């Protein structure tokens, strides 16, 4: 039976909810389960909205692959140079024929850079300008895990700005394989890995933006370089430039801040191509095979030559007969102080250039070799008594006192 709703007006027929409009109820009956099913489906698939795991990113995986083979390089070398000594001018005023040896100054220069191991035996590639060859070069290599090793210079190529060094330790080191290089395609993503500004394990990202570039930086010409907008900062030199598969693209070498005309630039970093690196390493290994093993200990004479300067900040010179006569000092006694480092132990104690050291501890000294032999026993923090002053040949104007110095 159909229920009539209201009274028909103006010829309009009254309708039955059940018969004439059946859809609202049926729709409601079907829509509710459909919405619930959709909601349950979305809740059961949270990956549609969750972020991807960062550990799965190609860049992260590439860095994890090569980082154990990337090293920080800290070099220390002593530069010797001869300078004109005003003290000699003073002597020459009274002794025209006086000609002493030119005074030699030793300066310690430090530099920071990067490199990467290319052989499990511990062979490392870096830039030549990071480890410029010197007879008394000290190279310290720090791995990504914090372990530190000493290394020695093997050979290098100044024109290519590549150098080869080796860790002085026997172990199987992680390395970057040079048999599988990046194809080096313009526009591909590249990563710079290295020791930027002294911060280890520093990463920057960009694209390979140019090839076969020739540039001049600080009067040095670089040829056939790769160009990238990935940030290359001081300390990155010698580190690897890699692709997202962890393959070598090149070796970070230079950054151009200004054009030769003085126009400032942005995003212009340059790297030595991986093919050039692989070819150079083949030659470097041949050189390494023909070299004798490195010394296990520095030569004692090399150590002694720097004891006075390293521990007390003063350079010494033998008092030759000519120099003794020219200065009017008592012959056969003491060692001349030829230079004093500013703010070193000797300088703070009042020792000046031109004074003479007559005794170290309880031992009389007459040569630099004697002094250095005695100082070889000193270690940082050791207190050493120096008897310093001037003893004239005529016995007049003598001024001698014992000064205790604490080695640094």
Q: Which of 85, 119, 161, 243 is catalytic?
A: 161
- 367 is a catalytic site residue: no
Q: Do domains 66-167 and 189-285 have the same CATH topology?
A: yes
Q: Is residue 237 annotated as part of the catalytic site, yes or no?
A: yes
pLDDT tens-place string over residues 355-404: 999 999 999 999 888 998 899 888 888 999 999 999 888 776 678 899 99
Question: For the chain, what are the domain ranges?
Answer: 1-50, 66-167, 189-285, 300-406
Q: Among the CATH numbers 2.30.110.10, 2.30.29.30, 2.30.42.10, 3.40.1260.10, which is that of 300-406?
A: 2.30.42.10
At 257-304, the pLDDT tens digits run 776 677 777 888 999 999 999 999 999 998 888 776 665 544 433 443
Q: CA 206, CA 269: separation in Å to the nearest integer? A: 10
Catalytic annotation present for 182? no
Candidate list 237, 252, 253, 338, residue with the active-site label: 237
Its pTM stands at: 0.56
Write the CATH number of the domain with boundaries 66-167. Answer: 2.40.10.10
Q: Fold for 189-285, please state it.
A: Thrombin, subunit H (2.40.10)
- Cα within 13 Å of Cα(206), Cβ side: 22
Catalytic residue among 129, 204, 209, 253: 129
One digit per residue, the tens of pLDDT, for the chain of length 408 reads: 444 444 444 444 444 444 454 555 554 455 555 555 555 555 555 554 556 788 889 999 999 999 999 999 987 655 555 555 555 555 555 444 444 455 555 555 556 789 999 999 999 999 998 887 554 567 889 898 888 899 998 999 988 999 999 998 888 999 999 999 999 999 999 999 998 876 777 899 999 999 999 887 766 788 899 999 999 888 888 999 999 999 999 999 887 777 667 777 788 899 999 999 999 999 999 888 877 666 554 443 344 346 888 899 998 888 887 778 778 888 888 999 988 888 889 999 999 988 999 999 999 999 888 998 899 888 888 999 999 999 888 776 678 899 999 988
């Amino acid at each position: 039976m159909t229920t009539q709703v209201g009274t028909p007006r103006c010829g309009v027929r009254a309708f039955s909810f059940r018969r004439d409009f059946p859809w609202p109820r049926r729709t409601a009956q079907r829509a509710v389960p459909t919405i619930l099913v959709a909601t349950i489906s979305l809740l059961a698939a949270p990956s549609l909205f969750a972020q991807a795991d960062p550990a799965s990113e190609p860049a992260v995986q590439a860095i994890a692959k090569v980082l154990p083979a990337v090293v920080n390089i800290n070099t220390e070398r002593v530069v010797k140079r001869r300078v004109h000594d005003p003290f000699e001018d003073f002597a020459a005023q009274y002794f025209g024929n006086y000609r002493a040896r030119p005074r030699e100054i030793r300066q310690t220069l430090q530099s920071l850079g990067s490199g990467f191991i290319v052989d499990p035996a511990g062979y490392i590639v870096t830039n030549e300008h990071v480890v410029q060859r010197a007879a008394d070069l000290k190279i310290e290599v720090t791995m990504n895990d914090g372990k530190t090793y000493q290394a020695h210079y093997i050979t290098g190529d100044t024109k290519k700005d590549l150098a080869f060094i080796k860790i002085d330790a026997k172990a199987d080191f992680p390395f970057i394989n040079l048999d599988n290089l990046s194809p080096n395609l313009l526009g591909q993503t590249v990563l710079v890995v290295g020791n930027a500004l002294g911060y280890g394990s520093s990463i920057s990202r960009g694209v390979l933006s140019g090839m076969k570039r020739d540039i001049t930086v600080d009067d040095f010409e670089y040829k056939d370089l790769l160009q990238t907008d990935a940030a290359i900062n001081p300390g990155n030199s010698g580190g690897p430039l890699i692709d997202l598969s962890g393959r070598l693209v090149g070796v970070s070498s230079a950054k151009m801040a200004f054009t030769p005309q003085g126009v400032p630039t942005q995003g212009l970093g340059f790297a030595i191509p991986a093919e050039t690196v692989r070819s150079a390493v083949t030659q470097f290994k041949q050189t390494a095979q023909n070299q004798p093993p490195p010394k296990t200990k520095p030569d004692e004479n090399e150590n002694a030559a720097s004891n006075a300067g390293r521990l007390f900040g003063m350079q010494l010179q033998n008092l030759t007969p000519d120099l003794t006569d020219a200065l009017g000092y008592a012959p056969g006694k003491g060692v001349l102080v030829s230079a004093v480092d500013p703010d070193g132990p000797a300088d703070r104690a009042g020792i000046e250039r031109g004074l003479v050291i007559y005794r170290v501890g309880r031992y009389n000294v007459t040569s630099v070799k004697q002094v250095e032999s005695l100082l070889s026993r000193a270690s940082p923090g050791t207190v050493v008594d120096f008897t310093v002053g001037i003893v004239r040949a005529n016995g007049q104007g003598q001024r001698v006192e014992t000064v205790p110095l604490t080695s640094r």
